[in-house]
Amino acid sequence: MTAPSPTIAFDQFSAVDIRIGTVVAAEPFPEARKPALKLVIDFGAQIGRKSSSAQITQHYKPETLIGRQVCAVVNFPPRQIGPFKSEVLTLGFSDETGHVVLIAADRKVPNGARLH
């Protein structure tokens, strides 16, 4: 059992901008140190399309992700991962074997909608 995280103020949580978007492109990322996919996610007109490197290869194939809505942090600074710039952090939980399971809304919502 893991210990709970330290307590944070609500303003700190509010500063993390978590949005939903639709995956419009996905492909393998063989240059990554750990198995990963390169995603392009459409967050709507206000934010636009952003790229993300996601270590989700155990449960997801590129072709199954197209059209799927995913959640991501959109206000972290971009990270250079090898030759690829990851602009958003795609969110998921580790399953019992440590592999990432994506989180998403249980109904379709507008791209760019913010987590409250």
Domain definitions of the chain by residue range: 16-102
Confidence of residue 86 (pLDDT cuts 50, 70, 90): very high
pLDDT digits (tens, 9 = 90+) for 43-73: 999 999 999 999 999 999 999 999 999 999 9
- Taking the CB of residue 48, how many other CB atoms lie within 10 A of it? 13
pLDDT at 2: 72
Question: Is pLDDT of 1 > 70?
Answer: no
CATH of domain 16-102: 2.40.50.140
pLDDT digits (tens, 9 = 90+) for 10-26: 999 999 999 999 999 99
Task: Tell me the average pLDDT across 93-102.
Answer: 97
CA angle 48, 73, 93 (to 5 degrees): 130
